[in-house]
């Protein structure tokens, strides 16, 4: 049984066929990348997985069950977390609060229990402490100690991206969707990010689905790559296979450049 | 000097009920981004439910008031679920019209069921009782209103700061998309904000009912509460409270020293003036929206 698979996925917005015939499967523990030019439909694909969009056709299977048609919160509860291309943080909250919100799905203390129970030894107190401990672990892992109490809206761009990653990890995902984790980062921050992604894969055993433009990074960390263009799959394979595929070259470099490189 | 302080006290008392309505409107505005013009009438119908239970069904007041507040919560949730959520691709203008529609329906319901004449609410505290604090008269009802308003503010603060639902609401306000991805059921959160807002508004209605109780009773307090909320920046709970007390005090001082006839109007003159100087309100914090 495959860990995650997409079969025959299609979605259209009005007359625009945004995705068509998308099919691939991801093994547990893999880093699987999706590449393609701007507007190829990569983020749309993520939105379909998350349940933000409802595909017109196709199947999405995760961990042995069909997740197509579930609401975003149900998908999150099953263990799929995500970061965004344009950072989507809670800007007026601190780093700590943002990451704590990632624990939302695990919190059991409701309004009345929270109001009735006080002190560190009550159920609510123990629960709070356990969640904080988990969050501290993630903060340590991603070295966010220095910004723990700062409002995230005021943090530098690269740090915000890290906070978003931390928040996704707080959900204890089995599958992590990263939408251009390196976009807009400095070379140094990119190096760090590559390092964290490898750590997340190896140490935490989380399967990663990745969208990225930086080809060097993609080639470096992905086990397999799916290339799409105009919503249609071009090819699937290892980094070397995809890099040499003529259609990929054409999509990325344009018709002329391709002819030149062939000549 | 004694006059001045007495007017100040009256202003604070009036400000308390504006503050409750203002808070109620801000709670909805922050999540739904719509000024809820049905706020007053939602409180109105909850107040009349309390009246009905007390007068027609002989409920004791310790049961009737909590029950009417429960009714308010349910009413808020139902309105959100059945009407506002159904709006397809809503824009702010459309939503405002919807809330005005709800307002008219609720007002019509109350007038039809209970009649338009002034009712006397069998409230446990008479509006004519008063206590002396030093040299100043304060009516017991005003004291109660102030206490309720302060308690509501504290509870709301604790709720948004520490409870799971409150945090989820804050998250939904700041970034609905991210909130959904984190496993928060944002639609249910929206429904809960309407419930809570309706509860806060209804408490204002109940506290006003001993003085005036007829279908138009909420008009003036609602406009003042709305004005207070706008003054505070519409997205800030402390801002709405501050605006409400400021409004209550200015209104009473103006009524006392300058012109009692224009007492009610001065509030809006203040707002016009303030919006000219500080258009985004006193306490505005802008959430930068990405396109």
Give residue-wise pLDDT tens across range A58-74. 889 998 888 888 999 99
What is the per-residue pLDDT for B109? 93
How far apart CA B178 and CA A82 sit, in angstroms, is 9
Residues of chain B neighbouring A81 (CB-CB closer than 8 A): 181
How confident is residue B124, by pLDDT bands cut at 50, 70 and 90?
confident
Question: The tokens of B269 are what?
Answer: 């003159």
Reply yes or no on whether the pLDDT at A135 is more than 70. yes
With 60 as the cut, is the pLDDT of residue A259 above it?
no
When pLDDT is averaged across residues B190-208 and rounded to a whole number, the result is: 94
- Going B175 to A123 to A74 to B31, the CA torsion angle's sign is negative
Helix H or strand E encompassing A58 = strand A57-62
Which residue does chain B place closest to A92, by CA atoms? Answer: B174
Q: What ipTM describes this predicted complex?
A: 0.82
Question: What token pair was written down for B168?
Answer: 């989820």
Please give the structure tokens belonging to residue A87.
Answer: 């950072």
* B147 band by pLDDT with thresholds 50, 70 and 90: very high
Query: Per-residue confidence at B123, pLDDT binned at 50, 70, 90?
Result: confident
Q: Average of pLDDT values for B17-26? A: 94
| Per-residue pLDDT, B77 | 95
Instruction: For residue A258, name the pLDDT band (cuts at 50, 70, 90).
Output: very low
> Which pLDDT belongs to residue B99?
93
Using a CB-CB cut-off of 8 Å, the residues of chain A touching B183 are 72-73, 76-77, 104-105, 171
* Sign of the CA dihedral with A102 first, then A107, A109, and A110 last: positive
**pLDDT band at B100, cuts 50/70/90?**
very high
Residue A122 has pLDDT above 80, yes or no: no
Residue A115 has a pLDDT of 66
Closest CA to B10 of B256, B287, B202: B256
**CA angle B105–B27–B154, rounded 5-degree value:** 125
CB contacts of B160 in chain A (<8 Å) are none
Interface test with B, best of A73, A96, A169, A177 (most B CBs within 10 A): A73
pLDDT score at A263: 41
Q: A241 CA to chain B: closest CA distance, Å?
A: 34
Query: Mean pLDDT lowest for which of A98-112, A191-205, B94-108, B188-202?
Result: A98-112
Over 80: is that where the pLDDT of B202 sits? yes
Per DSSP, what are the bridge partners of residue A17?
A12
A161 to chain B: which residues are within 8 Å by CB?
A: none
Q: Is the pLDDT of residue B285 over 60?
A: no
Best probe of the B interface among A43, A46, A90, A154, by most B CBs < 10 A, is A90
Q: State the burial class of residue B173 (Cβ atoms within 10 Å of its Cβ: 0-12, 13-18, 19+).
A: buried
**What integer pLDDT is reported at residue B288 of this predicted model?**
43
Domain spans in chain B, listed from the N-terminal domain onward? 2-217
CA B59, CA B63: separation in Å to the nearest integer? 6
pLDDT at residue A45 above 80?
Answer: yes
Residue A119 — pLDDT band, cuts 50, 70, 90? low
CA of B157 to nearest chain A CA: how many angstroms apart? 13
Cβ-defined contact of A114 to B164 (cutoff 8 Å): yes
Question: Residue B179: its chain A contacts at CB < 8 A?
Answer: 90, 101
Q: Residue A158 pLDDT more than 90? A: no
Nearest to A100 by CA among B159, B182, B192, B160: B182
In percent, how much of chain B has pLDDT > 90?
Answer: 42
CA A134 to chain centre: 20
Distance of CA B251 to CAs A11, A67, A148, B191, B288, Å?
58, 58, 45, 35, 34
Convert the pLDDT of each residue in B150-196 to its tens digit.
Answer: 999 999 988 888 888 888 998 998 888 899 999 899 889 999 999 99
In this model, does residue B74 exceed pLDDT 90? yes
| pLDDT for A120 | 65
| A76-89 average pLDDT score | 90
Most confident of A30-39, B42-51, B278-287: B42-51
Q: How many CA atoms lie within 13 A of A62 on its CB side?
A: 25
- Structure-block tokens of residue A194: 């590559």
Question: SS3 for B139?
Answer: strand
Confidence band (pLDDT; 50, 70, 90) for B203? Answer: very high
Q: Which domains, and CATH codes, for chain A?
A: 1-79+173-263 (3.40.50.300), 89-171 (no CATH)
Please enumerate, as own/partner, the contacts of A74-78 that have beta carbons within 8 Å and a separation of 24 or more: A75/A49, A75/A50, A75/A51, A76/A105, A76/A171, A76/B180, A76/B181, A76/B182, A76/B183, A77/A105, A77/B183, A78/A174
Q: C-alpha angle B62/B66/B72, rounded to 5°?
A: 155
pLDDT in the model for residue B199 = 96
pLDDT above 90: residue A121:
no
* Chain B neighbors of A153, CB-CB under 8 A: 288
Query: Is the pLDDT score of B101 beyond 90?
Result: yes
pLDDT confidence band for B2 (50 / 70 / 90): confident
What percent of chain A shows pLDDT beyond 70?
A: 90
Asked if A114 lies within 8 A of B290 by C-beta distance, the reply is no
pLDDT category at B44 given cuts 50, 70, 90 is very high
**Which chain A residues are within 8 Å of B290, Cβ to Cβ?**
86
Number of other residues whose CB lies within 10 A of the CB of residue B277: 6
Q: Is the pLDDT confidence value at B289 over 70?
A: no
Tens of pLDDT along A165-208? 999 999 999 999 999 988 888 888 888 888 889 988 988 889 99
- Tell me the β-bridge partners of A94: A151
B287, A50: Cβ pair inside 8 Å? no
Residue among B31, B176, B181 with most chain A CBs within 10 A, to mutate? B181
Residue of A nearest to B171 (CA): A90
């Amino acid at each position: 049984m495959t860990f995650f698979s997409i079969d025959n996925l299609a979605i259209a917005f009005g007359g625009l066929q945004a995705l068509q015939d998308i099919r691939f499967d991801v093994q547990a523990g893999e880093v699987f990348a999706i590449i393609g030019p701007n507007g190829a439909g990569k983020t749309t694909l993520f939105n379909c997985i998350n349940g933000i969009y409802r595909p017109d056709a196709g199947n999405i299977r995760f961990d042995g069950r069909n997740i197509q048609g579930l609401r975003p919160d149900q998908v999150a509860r099953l263990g799929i977390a995500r970061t965004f291309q344009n950072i989507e943080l809670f800007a007026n909250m601190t780093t700590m609060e943002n990451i704590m919100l990632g624990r939302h799905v695990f919190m059991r203390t409701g309004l009345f229990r929270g109001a009735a129970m006080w002190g560190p030894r009550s159920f609510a107190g123990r629960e709070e402490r356990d969640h904080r401990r988990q969050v501290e672990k993630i903060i340590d892992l991603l070295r966010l100690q220095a910004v723990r109490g700062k409002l995230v809206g005021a943090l530098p761009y690269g740090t915000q991206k890290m906070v978003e990653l931390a928040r996704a990890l707080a959900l204890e995902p089995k599958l992590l969707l990263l939408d251009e984790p390196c976009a807009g980062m400095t070379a140094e921050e990119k190096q760090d990010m590559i390092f964290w992604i490898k750590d997340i894969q190896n140490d935490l055993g989380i399967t990663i689905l990745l969208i990225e433009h930086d080809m060097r990074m993609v080639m470096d960390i992905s086990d397999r790559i799916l290339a799409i263009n105009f919503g249609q799959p071009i090819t699937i394979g290892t980094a070397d296979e995809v890099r040499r595929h003529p259609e990929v070259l054409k999509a990325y470099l344009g018709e002329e450049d391709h002819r030149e490189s062939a000549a | 000097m004694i006059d001045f302080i007495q007017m100040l006290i009256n202003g604070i008392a009036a400000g308390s009920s504006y503050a409750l309505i203002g808070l109620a409107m801000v709670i909805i505005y922050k999540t739904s981004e719509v000024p809820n013009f049905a706020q007053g009438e939602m409180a109105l119908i909850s107040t009349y439910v309390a009246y009905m239970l007390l007068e027609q069904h002989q409920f004791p007041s310790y049961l009737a008031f909590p029950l009417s507040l429960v009714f308010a919560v349910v009413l808020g949730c139902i309105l959100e679920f059945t009407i506002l959520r159904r709006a397809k691709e809503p824009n702010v203008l459309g939503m405002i019209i919807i809330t005005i529609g709800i307002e008219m329906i609720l007002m019509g319901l109350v007038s039809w069921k209970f009649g338009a004449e002034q009712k006397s609410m069998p409230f446990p505290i008479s509006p004519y009782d008063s206590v002396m604090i030093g040299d100043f008269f304060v009516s017991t009802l005003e004291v109660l209103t102030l206490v309720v308003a302060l308690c509501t503010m504290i509870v709301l603060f604790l709720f948004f700061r520490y409870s799971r639902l409150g945090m989820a609401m804050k998250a939904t306000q700041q970034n609905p998309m991210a909130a959904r991805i984190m496993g928060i059921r944002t639609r249910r959160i929206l429904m809960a904000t309407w419930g809570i807002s309706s509860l806060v508004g209804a408490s204002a209605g109940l506290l006003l009912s001993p003085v005036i109780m007829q279908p138009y009773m909420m008009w003036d307090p609602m406009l003042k509460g709305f004005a207070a909320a706008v003054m505070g920046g519409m997205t800030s709970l402390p801002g709405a409270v501050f605006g409400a007390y400021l409004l209550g005090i200015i209104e009473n001082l103006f009524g006392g020293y300058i012109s009692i006839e224009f007492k009610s109007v001065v509030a809006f003159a203040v707002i016009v003036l303030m919006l000219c100087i500080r258009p985004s309100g006193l306490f505005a914090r802008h959430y930068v929206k990405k396109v």
